A = this chain, B = another copy of it.
């Protein structure tokens, strides 16, 4: 027979092991080789599990062309008055390098595009605005948080977005572009498109937070009813998830705030109102994250005190039983002694009298425990 909690432990352990594959790398810092020249593009160690894709959308208020690019060479004919959005999915150092050279992106920015795991930030390289975001999603089973770096390179009339994994994150924006003849997203420039992408990425925080909130409520109900060790492990994991989200959200807030306050010439006044709205969403997400962190801490306290309470209850039962029966057992043992001269043993009413005395003793003790409110 295996102990039941062993199986539970093993399950927890397995989930944790699975989680570490994605998680570990989430919380660990980016890989760094000290002393490398800045702007060095380091190929990733593990080969990518999917082919690199490069999608282009070119549009002006009236027309829109979508195309799948196969090499950077296909790029060189964008007319002045059009907007061009290039969306690269996957990791190909050579492709990024060629693109970077073609678009005259600063080597430090290119390095940050390739060496994923950067802090969210906005950097201003004169003609180019370089934005790093964290896209956080919730994957089953687990649920496990998955983080992906999204890099945006914004230039006059051009936006380059680089993602780590194929997903449908940007599909709503693409469809708004397709169906939006004459709407703002088609008439505004690269700054508004960048805003739309940032907004989409930030909005992905909310379903994740909603799920975290659900888990917190489930744990809370469980704790108020019947606390188990697995609640605590779950709380520990929740706190780690919140820590991760927090580490993404705070720098992003600073970055968007900097974008708002700064005087980047790429950001039109019209777009500023929308960026303020995104900043507001991030502030809201941070509020929720911090509230959840406090609730998780409060739940840990609740758990610990529940365990204390239980132990207290167990101890009381033990003490009551022991305190009643140990003296009685002693008395019984006394008259179990084999001394030859024990006058009481010969008295006829001694045995019933002793029984009555024992019952009285037990009664007194029970009364005492009742008064102490232990029973």
Contact = CB atoms under 8 A, between A and B. Distances in A.
Interface residues of A, number: 130
A308 B318 contact: no
A325 B317 contact: no
A280 B121 contact: yes
A304 B303 CA distance: 12
Given A209-B29, A213-B27, A273-B106, A294 B243 contact: yes
Interface in A1-24: 3, 9, 12-13, 16-17, 20, 24
State the copy count for this chain.
5
Contacts of A283: 119, 251
A310 B3 CA distance: 14
A226 to B, nearest CB: 7
A21 to B, nearest CB: 11
Interface stretch (A47-55, A148-156, A197-205): A197-205
A65 interface: no
Q: Give chain A's interface secondary structure class.
A: helix
Contact of A35 (B180, B203, B333): B203
A119 B280 contact: yes
Interface in A311-343: 311-312, 314-319, 321-323, 325-330, 332-342
Interface stretch (A66-74, A84-92, A216-224): A216-224
Given A206-B30, A298-B240, A307-B308, A118 B284 contact: yes
Instruction: Identify the interface centre among A30, A180, A287, A334: most chain B CB within 10 Å of its CB.
Output: A334
Contacts of A318: 315, 318-319, 322-323
B315 A316 contact: no
A38 interface: yes
A277 interface: yes
Q: Which of A170, A295, A308, A372 has the most CB of B within 10 A?
A: A308
A295 B26 CA distance: 13
Nearest to A226: B373
A207 interface: yes
Interface of A: 3, 9, 12-13, 16-17, 20, 24, 27-38, 106, 108, 118-119, 121, 123, 125, 169-173, 176, 180, 183, 185, 199-201, 203-204, 206-207, 209-210, 213-214, 217, 220-221, 224-226, 229, 232-233, 236, 239-240, 243-244, 247, 251, 273-274, 276-277, 280-281, 283-285, 287-288, 291-292, 294-295, 298-312, 314-319, 321-323, 325-330, 332-342, 344-346, 348, 350-351, 354, 371-374
The 5 A-B pairs with the shortest beta carbon distances in the complex, nearest first, are A35-B172, A332-B333, A34-B203, A32-B206, A335-B337
